[in-house]
Structure formats: structure tokens, C-alpha cells
A and B are shown apart, each in its own frame.
Chain A
Amino acid sequence: MKEYEKTGVLSLKDLRLPNEKQLEKGVAIIECVQHIPCNPCVDACPFDAISMKDINDLPVVDFDKCVGCGQCISVCPGLAIFVVKHIMDGKALISIPYEFLPVPSVNDKVEALDREGRFVDTVVVKKVVKKGKTWVVTVLANVEDAMNIRNIRV
């Protein structure tokens, strides 16, 4: 039995992670670890960077092809895709799917939360895009928190 099957929380060991160079370019992190019959992320990628042989397979991101455009974030029914981009001065941009009210505005300060909903840091909203009824919110955080921040509280 995997720990996340009990807790609902993934650890970084459960994920395949990109290298630093790929992170500087910005890449999609797909936190989809179970064989669910589902593939809209594959269709959504304009760069053919997400692949899947069978609909029940796990999506595999080609971190070299992926440019971190985030098209896949809002189509994922499991809201399991995030984009992380390392930028200068020890900072990172994290794009998160968001389906709650109120929706933050650019430059708002919001609470960044980890996979267990625990407070990580206060971060600044850099971009808010609405796609269908899912918002994609991009926040600016410290680079060491980039793989832990997965939600925001407004």
C-alpha cells in the first residue's frame, strides 16, 4: 500500500521531477499517479509534450518539449497539473488550478498552502486566467517552496 492511498497526500518521491535547466524554462508537473481512463491533457498540449499509449496509462511529460504554457492545467478533470518555473533571485512562479471564491487579482497577497493545506508563505499573485470555470492563478514564491505550494487561500 502506498502512503498516499491512505492520506491523499503525495510526497516528491511519488513524482518524476524535471531538472534545474528544465525548471528554468518552466514545465508542467502532473500529479496524476493512478491509472484512470482519462486523457484530455494529451489533447490539450500544443507541443505534443504529453504522451500516453493507452487511455489508462499515466501521462508522461517530455520536460524538454514542454514549454510550461499551462494549457493543460485547466483541462485536467483532476485539477492535478501545476506549472513551475524557476526565475531569478531565488524565486519561482507556480501556476495552480483554482475553483473557489473569491478569485484573487494580480498583485494581491494570498496565503500559499502545501499538499495538506498547511500555510507555507504569503505570496504575490502575478497572473489570473479564467478558462471555462476553472481559474489558473500564478503566484511568485521562494524557489525552495516551489515543489510544495499547491494551493492558495485568498
Chain B
Amino acid sequence: MNYFLKSKNRARGKFLRSLGLGLLIAVFFALFGFFAPTILSGFFVRLATPAWNLGNALSSETWTSTQFWRSKIALVEENKALKVSLEEARLKEVAYETLKDENNTLKESFGRELPQGFILAGVLARPPQIPYDTLLVDVGQKDGVRVGDSAFAADSIVLGTIIEVYESQSKIELYSNAARKTPAFISGTNMSVLLQGRGGGDFEIVLPRESPITEDDVFVVAGIEGFTVAQVKTIDGKSTDSFQNVLAESPVNTLLLRFVTIRRQ
């Protein structure tokens, strides 16, 4: 029986061609991303937005229908717990409103205007869908959003800043992003610290042993408004160590965020 012998050179050539093509694709995307990041990501974000909107609508619908099948006992228990937390929140709100009025009066008397220009944005994609600490929201250039604008949950918890703006979408980098360091103060003591992002809404701070910090403290970003950025989770360190390691977390669970507010600069 006659047959062609397998050519080693031909197989090797095919192998190298495939390898080269794969690497060429990767280099193309890496260079494109480096020199013109917003063009490529803007294009893909625009394409993916209808899919994310559909996904968000479907997940909301699925959640509603699964709630229908929950047992009555579980609902009664949840109702009780919610009533208790509602009462606690009402009491806190009374104190909050008083403090807010006092804060506004103080700012006005010092000639500083109140923060204005907030716009509401729906979250298109969030962690854990996103491995990086970023959020994609449905407001963009046409809504007046610009790079550097701050993103908030509620009206006093700052989440991060806008890093990329497309026509109708924007990308927010959370302060907890692993590559990010945020200057902040420990509220109460006014001690300046540098919050090192650790991903997943967590932060790490290394402080001298004598630093006055407790587990009830919160960190506020520098500025007159004093927006909360994180709260202390745990304080580690032996009594013999020179430093203590403080782990902090964002007061907001980014996994459950559906809306954020953007403050235009």
C-alpha cells in the first residue's frame, strides 16, 4: 500500500503559523487597548448594553417569581426582622436629619455651597460578574458625565470615580480596586491615612501601633463634604508589633447595587 509520509516540516510550519496567528491577535488587542482604550471598549460596551439590560430585567423578573414560592413562616419571620430594622433606621434617620441640617448650616455660614448636580444611574454590570473592581453604568457623555466625576451610593457613601465615558455608558473604578490608593481620614480623630484597595470592596491600612483606631471608626475621603468611603472591619496585630494591620470594607455591598448617583464636577 502506498501512502504519503507525514512531512515533519509541513506539520511544524502549520504549528508555527497557528502560534503566530494566535499571538498576532493577542498583540493587536493589547496594543489597541494601550493606545486607544476607549475606542475598543466603547464599541464593545455599546454592543453589550442591550444584552445587559435584558439580563437585568430577566434577573429582576426571576427574583420576583421565586419570592412567590417562599413559605409563609419565612415571610413572617422576615417581616418581623424588617420591622425591627425599619424602626432602628427611623430612629437613626431622625438623628441623621438633625446632623445634616446642622452640617448644611455650618457649610453655608462658611460660604461653601452644597454639593449639587447629582444624576441617577442604573448599574449595567457589577462584581462578581466583573473580576476587576469596576462598575458599568447607563449614563454617559450625553448626560454630562465626565472622567473624574464621583460615584455614590445613597448620598454620602462614595464608591469611586468615573474612568471611562462613552456616549451613553460609563465605567466606574471603585476605590477598593487593588491598584488604587485613596487618601482618607479616620473620622473623629482626623488622622490622615492611605487606603490601599484589596478588591471586592475591601481595603487595607497599615498604621503605627499607637494610632487611635477602633472597630467603630469610619474612613472619610479628603474634602469638606467628608463622604464615607469605608468602615473598619478588623484590626490585626500583636501587642509586640510596631504596626497594626487594619482591614476595612465599603459600607455598601457592590454585589447588590442596582443604582448609583454620579456627581458632576
User: Is this pair of chains taken from one and the same complex?
Assistant: no
Which B residues contact A (CB, under 8 angstroms)? Answer: none
